[in-house]
Amino acid sequence: MKIEGSHKISAPRERVFAALIDPAVLQKCIPGCEELERADAENGEENKFNAKLSAGVGSIKAMFTATVTMKDIISPSHYRLEVEGKGQPGFLKGAGDLNLEEQGAATEINYTGEVNVGGMLASVGQRMIQGAAAMMATRFFAALESEAAK
């Protein structure tokens, strides 16, 4: 399933980018993120994190353990985020690219990605999953804007 969109944040690009790669800020901004801790650096991957996320789609809600990796970091304009998670109702695996463009004193974030789900999660249907993903993206960017304004 593909996800894509854009969001404008009223803050300079450097500040928005710094917030997007700060684990403490990400933990506050990701809906349902209860924990986000740096994983042991394996194979030189210092931008790898372990996360605990509370999430759900429709009536299916659960706790997920996930690995989040930031790659292809080009400050302050781009990075790729890869996520792999498992929980009682299934699994999710996804990757996406975030591109930041200056728009005067604001920043336009364009994102594209691909998400795959399995198990009971897949049974709720693509429409519900896309709706939940859109809602989570809206919450994430609202929280990010609040953090970037600090």
Taking residues 30-54, report their average pLDDT: 83
- The pLDDT of residue 96 is 93
Contact between 149 and 11 under an 8 Å Cβ cutoff? The reply is yes
Please give the torsion angle defined by the CA atoms of residues 138, 149, 71 and 121, in that order, rounded to the nearest 10 degrees. Answer: -20
Structural domain boundaries enclosing 144 = 2-148
pTM for the complete prediction?
0.86
pLDDT score, position 29: 93
Predicted local distance difference test score (pLDDT) of residue 58: 67
Rounded distance, CA 71 to CA 90, Å? 25
Is-contact 142 3, C-beta < 8 A? Answer: no
pLDDT exceeds 70 at position 42: no
The predicted model gives 73-87 an average pLDDT of 93
Q: What pairing do the DSSP bridges indicate for beta strands 48-57 and 106-119? A: unpaired
Number of folded domains that form the chain: 1
The CATH code of the domain that includes 42 is 3.30.530.20
Round the average pLDDT of the chain to a whole number and report it. Answer: 88
